[in-house]
């Protein structure tokens, strides 16, 4: 039995540094961008994430892609 997984929805999260809290721990804020094309290449998503992160005054601390997929049996 074989299975396939088809991506139906993606979101891109861009984390931006917001400084430190009272205890000295790093604080960040995440911005979520939805409706990312399911067939977008990783390099394209990274380039877009960097471009979006460049719009903020603070440093980009990371990128996360969240996918929703349909799992089917072949």
d(C-alpha 30, C-alpha 16), whole Å: 6
Give yes or no for a contact between 8 and 70, defined as CB atoms under 8 angstroms apart. yes
Task: Find the length of the chain.
Answer: 74
Contact 45, 36 (CB under 8 A): yes
pTM of the model: 0.81
Q: How confident is the model at residue 1 (pLDDT cuts 50, 70, 90)?
A: confident
Name residues whose C-beta falls within 8 Å of residue 44's C-beta, 6 or more positions apart in sequence: none
Q: What is the pLDDT of residue 74?
A: 84
């Amino acid at each position: 039995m074989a299975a396939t997984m088809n991506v139906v929805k993606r979101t891109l999260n861009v984390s931006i540094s917001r400084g430190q809290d009272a205890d000295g721990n790093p604080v960040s804020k995440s911005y979520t961008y939805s409706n990312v094309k399911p067939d977008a290449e990783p390099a394209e998503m990274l380039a877009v994430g960097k471009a979006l992160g460049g719009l903020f005054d603070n440093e980009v601390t990371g990128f996360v892609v969240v996918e929703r997929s349909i799992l089917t049996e072949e």
